Homo-oligomer: A and B are copies of this chain.
Amino acid sequence: MYSFKSDYSEGAHPRILKALMETNFEQADGYGEDPYTWEAIQLLKQRIACSDADIHFISGGTQTNLIAMAAFLRPHEAVIAPFSGHVAVHEAGAIEATGHKVITTEGKKGKLRPADVEQVLHKHNDEHMVKPRLVYISNSTEIGTIYNRAELTALSQYCRDRDLLLFIDGARLGAALTAAQNDLSLEDIARLTDAFYIGGTKNGALLGEALIIRTGSLQEDFRFHLKQRGALLAKGRLLGIQFRELFSDDLFFELARHANRLAQKIQLALGEAGVSFLVPSPSNQIFPILPNDIIKELLQRYSFHIWDQVSAERSVIRLITSWATKEEAVERFIFDLKRLL
């Protein structure tokens, strides 16, 4: 049984484990005040070309999202997210548990355009409703699509003109930035948003996301929020060491490229075999539409998520590859599936 269920099925990239071993007996201060974390922060500041950003390492994506929004928003302010946004659906009400409404809007292919946000603003015009304040998007999105520079620039400009904050959930930012069609850089992301995070968990780390707060007014006292929500790890070094390793050279992007390449290999092969897709995805999540009996056969040898039903006979499945996905497994999967088609 080989799993294409997620990009967090294995442990960490061996270089990360090696770095943990090598530093293991060095004594360091707790709570992120260790030298490894400091180094990782410097490396990231260089990558985003922004020396006055505030950078924090946090265990997971839901925790990062909830702490950022709880810290950035006043009680009456709300988040705007696409229907498919992770915060809107799959975080068990984490944002609402901090007191903030998540307003959903349709979007297109998992992405928000200025017009989608405009619709929300249009309806929210007095104090009997919440005040929309932060636009949440994911890149890559929950269905594998990515924003290009023109799209992100337009959304960013729109938000700035209306005093809205723009936040990117980058759980799979590595996959987005190394996709074939991508024309955005980490620098662009930093320049066009108020805050965003770079996902480590789904790209080779044991755990860890790097939250980058660009806008000065959002930076104040942020460590209080980390502590208050239980995110200030005693051994903060665990996060710092991993991000130091991922960004000390090109490792972070190499891992994402590997994941993308293998997903695209499947998508290409299946496309050639006449399989259609929920949406064309340039990244490491793909969504082929297959007959239910073939899906049943595949599940004998592979595990993956059944995303949605499209008819009585056909369903969309989700296949995810990662830094750890083996080329042979992908080849065997293509072979097995083609035989069934």
In the assembly, what is the distance between CA of A66 and CA of B100, in Å? 14
A20 sits at the interface (CB 8 A):
yes
For A207, the chain B residues whose CB sits under 8 A away are 233-235, 238
Residues 311-331 (chain A) with a chain B CB within 8 angstroms: 324
A181 sits at the interface (CB 8 A):
no
A221 sits at the interface (CB 8 A):
yes
A28 sits at the interface (CB 8 A):
yes
For A98, the chain B residues whose CB sits under 8 A away are 75, 99
For A93, the chain B residues whose CB sits under 8 A away are 76, 78, 99-101, 129-130, 228
| Interface flags, A175-191, vs B, CB<8A=1, else 0 | 00000000000000000
- Closest residue to A13 on the B side, CB-wise? B24
A35 sits at the interface (CB 8 A):
no
Majority secondary structure, A binding face: loop
- Closest residue to A234 on the B side, CB-wise? B8
- Interface residues contributed by chain A, number (CB under 8 Å): 76
Residue contact A59 to B233, C-beta cutoff 8 Å? yes
- Closest residue to A2 on the B side, CB-wise? B27
Return A3 CB to nearest CB of chain B, in Å.
5
In the assembly, what is the distance between CA of A265 and CA of B66, in Å? 45
A226 sits at the interface (CB 8 A):
yes
In the assembly, what is the distance between CA of A287 and CA of B127, in Å? 23
Residue contact B10 to A24, C-beta cutoff 8 Å? yes
Residue contact A227 to B91, C-beta cutoff 8 Å? yes
A96 sits at the interface (CB 8 A):
yes
Find A71's partner among B71, B74, B89, B131 (CB 8 Å cutoff): B74
- Closest residue to A329 on the B side, CB-wise? B27
In the assembly, what is the distance between CA of A10 and CA of B28, in Å? 7
Residue contact A232 to B71, C-beta cutoff 8 Å? no
- Closest residue to A14 on the B side, CB-wise? B24
